[in-house]
């Protein structure tokens, strides 16, 4: 009985600590964003019209100057291209090695 009471007390203290931590983290995020008086969303797409987009980011209105293409997305910078090439190489090499190992079993 004594063990059950201690266990229950420990679980209660941990639960209160977790709730306190979540509340503190939420207040910290709101302070960093500066959105304590704004609605909960920090990124809202207002409207898409004729390939152009209007977005509200942290309460500031932003409009795209260039129409959004309906085709394939434009790739990022050279670093993301190199990362994609390395990813493709690692996946291909891993697949080849696994196929070789499975053929030997």
Q: pLDDT tens digit string along 18-50? A: 999 999 998 888 778 765 565 556 666 666 666
Task: Look at residue 68 and tell me whether its pLDDT is greater than 90.
Answer: no
CA 18 to chain centre: 22
DSSP calls for 35-97: -SSS-S-SEEEEEEETTEEEEEETTEEEE-SSPPPSSSPPP--HHHHHHHHHHHHHHHHHHHH
* pLDDT of the residue at 95: 94
Average pLDDT over residues 82-97: 92
Give the single-character DSSP code of 1.
-
Give the span between the Cα atoms of 13 and 9, in whole angstroms. Answer: 6
Comparing 64 with 39, the larger pLDDT belongs to 64
β pairing state of 52-57 and 60-63: antiparallel
Q: Give pTM, 2 decimals.
A: 0.34
């Amino acid at each position: 009985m004594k063990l059950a009471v201690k266990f229950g007390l420990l679980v209660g203290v941990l639960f209160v600590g977790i709730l306190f931590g979540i509340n503190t983290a939420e207040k910290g995020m709101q302070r960093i964003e500066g959105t304590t008086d704004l609605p909960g969303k920090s990124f809202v797409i207002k409207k898409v019209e004729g390939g152009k987009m209007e977005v509200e980011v942290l309460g500031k209105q932003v409009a795209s100057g260039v129409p959004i293409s309906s085709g394939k997305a434009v790739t990022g910078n050279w670093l993301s291209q190199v990362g994609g090439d390395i990813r493709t190489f690692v996946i291909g090499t891993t697949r080849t090695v696994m196929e070789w190992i499975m053929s030997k079993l």
